[in-house]
Structures are given as structure tokens and as C-alpha cells.
Structure 1
Amino acid sequence: MRNKKQLLIEQLDKKLEKFKDSAMVQIPTKGWINTIRTTLNMTRDQLGTKLEMTKGAIQKIEEREALGQITINKLRDVGQALDMKFVYGFVPNNGTIDDLIQIEAEKLAQKIVLRTNQNMKLEDQGIGDEKIARTIKELASEIKREMRKSLWD
């Protein structure tokens, strides 16, 4: 039976899955606003009229977007003026949220097990590589299931 946390992870993965292809899209050097505006053959004055701003203000918006210094609200406003919907989201670098949690759980488990084994070796009680691997796998499963906050330390 799935627990509440696992269900939330699955639901989030399902939502983020729609963004997966967007991670492959390269952002234009001059930014989306400038690229879309010029592709539509729209002047800064024309976009400024739609946003009730000056041509200079539109230039500043385009510059700030290209530098990554623009607000989400401003991007949303420009999208609306261009009759487009502004969309944003996050895409996990390594597959899914579930994969991200698994990777972090394995890292934490390995750190704990290897540290413990090192202490045991000092007392002549170390365990073999096969047992270490199995212990790491079991601990990682437990950490993932419990979703310990220490996962993100």
C-alpha cells in the first residue's frame, strides 16, 4: 500500500512530466520577449502601447529578461500583451522527483553505512563489500520510505 508521501511524489511527477520536453528548448540569446516581438515584426513602440509603457521601458524589459533579472509577473504581463500564456516549471535533472529522492537516499545511506563500517573496522568488526552494498540498499529504501529531512542536508 502506498503512503501519502509516495502518492504526493507520484502526483508531482505526473505534473512535471509535461515539462520534460521543454527542458530541451534553448532560450534565445536575446530572450523570449525580443525574439517573439521581432519574429512578429512588432516594434517596441507597439508592444509598449499594449503594456502602456514607453519604447525605452520595453527595451529595459528585454534586457532584464536576457540577463535573468526579470520578474515572473512581468513575464506574465508581457505574455498577456502578446496574446500568449506564460508558463514556467521545474524539470528534474535526473528523470523524476522519485529518481531524485532515490539518488539522495542512496548517497545518505552510503555515507552512514561507510562511516559506521569505518568505526567497526577500527574495532576489528568490519563487514564485507557484499554486506555493505546490501546494507546501503536496505537503508536507502528505509530513508526514502520515511522521507527523512536529513536527506537534504
Structure 2
Amino acid sequence: MRSKRKLLIEQLDQKLQPFLETRVVIVPERGWINTIRTTLNMTLAQLGAKLTITRQGVKRIEESEGNGTITLNSLKEVAHALDLKLVYALVPKNGTIDDLIAAKAEKLAQKIVLRTNQNMKLEGQGIGDDKISKTIRDLAHEIKREIRRSLWD
């Protein structure tokens, strides 16, 4: 089962690979629709005609994109009307899905080990920093391998 999960992670990372550069993309202040429409020297009425809506309808769509309330279906329709392709993905902020899992596993392992060590210290059985670091690394590796659901709590 673990190897299947690992394969799924690798496949997902491969699918997301083309999107890695999108982290540096800066969304235009007025949104993509307005920016593309105005760059193409297209009026609200012209885009409205392609979408079979009024120019006020186009303005509302542009405003909804700008304030983040636009739907994916609306974006698809506009993209189609402009002979463009809507590209949609959820990508890790840093690195890959595998890196995300590793970071979460490290954080969880650290929390578990430090809490346990604190309890052991109270009983006069605490361990040294080197042993703590090794224990955190080992536990993080195990958590990552198993992809425990507790990673996401």
C-alpha cells in the first residue's frame, strides 16, 4: 500500500511539474479578463457579443474576477469566447507535493518528540539534543512513509 501511495505522489508531482513556474506569475491588478480584453483592444460590448451578454454583464464578470468571486465556469466561458484555454491547478507554495508532505511530517515529528521529551524531563529521563534531532528525523521519515492522516490536523 505504501508503494502505491508513493507512486501516486510521484505521478501527481509529474502532473504539476508544468505549473511550478506559475509561482512567479503576478496576477494583473484588474484581473486577467480585463487585461487580456484591453490588450486586444476589445470593447466590453465586443466581448459581451461573443458571450451573448450585455457589456454590463462583462463588466460584472471582470469585477467578480477582480474581487475573487468569479466561478470556474465563467472563466471557462470567457476563455472560450477569447479563443483561450483556462488552465487551473492547485500547486504547493514551495517545492513539490513530496516536499509538502516531508515538511508536514517534520513539523509533526518535532511536535511529538519535543512533547514526549518534555514529559521525560519532568521524570528526570530527558534525552540530549543530538538524540532529539535523530529521533525527529527518524519519526518524520516514518510519518512521511505512512502519510498519517494526523499530518493534516
Q: TM-score, normalised by structure 1?
A: 0.97
Q: Aligned with 2:89: secondary structure?
A: coil
**Aligned residue identity for 2:148:** R
**Aligned residue identity for 1:150:** S
What is the root-mean-square deviation of aligned Cα atoms in Å? Answer: 0.9
Match in the other structure for 1:26: 26
Match in the other structure for 2:130: 130
In 2, Cα distance between equivalents of 1:11 and 1:70: 30
Deviations 1:32-75 (A, max 9, x none): 11111111111111111111000110011011111111000000
Conservation of the 8 A alpha-carbon contact between 2:9 and 2:97: yes
Q: Which runs of 5+ in 2 are unaligned?
A: none
How do residues 2-151 of structure 1 correspond to structure 2 at under 5 angstroms? 3-151=3-151
List structure 1 segments (4+ residues) > 4 angstroms apart after TM superposition. none
Conservation of the 8 A alpha-carbon contact between 2:102 and 2:144: yes
In 2, Cα distance between equivalents of 1:134 and 1:61: 54
In 1, Cα distance between equivalents of 2:120 and 2:58: 65
**Aligned residue identity for 1:137:** R
Cα displacement (A) at 1:24: 1.0
Deviations 1:101-146 (A, max 9, x none): 0010011001111111111111111111111110100000110011
Seq. identity, %: 65
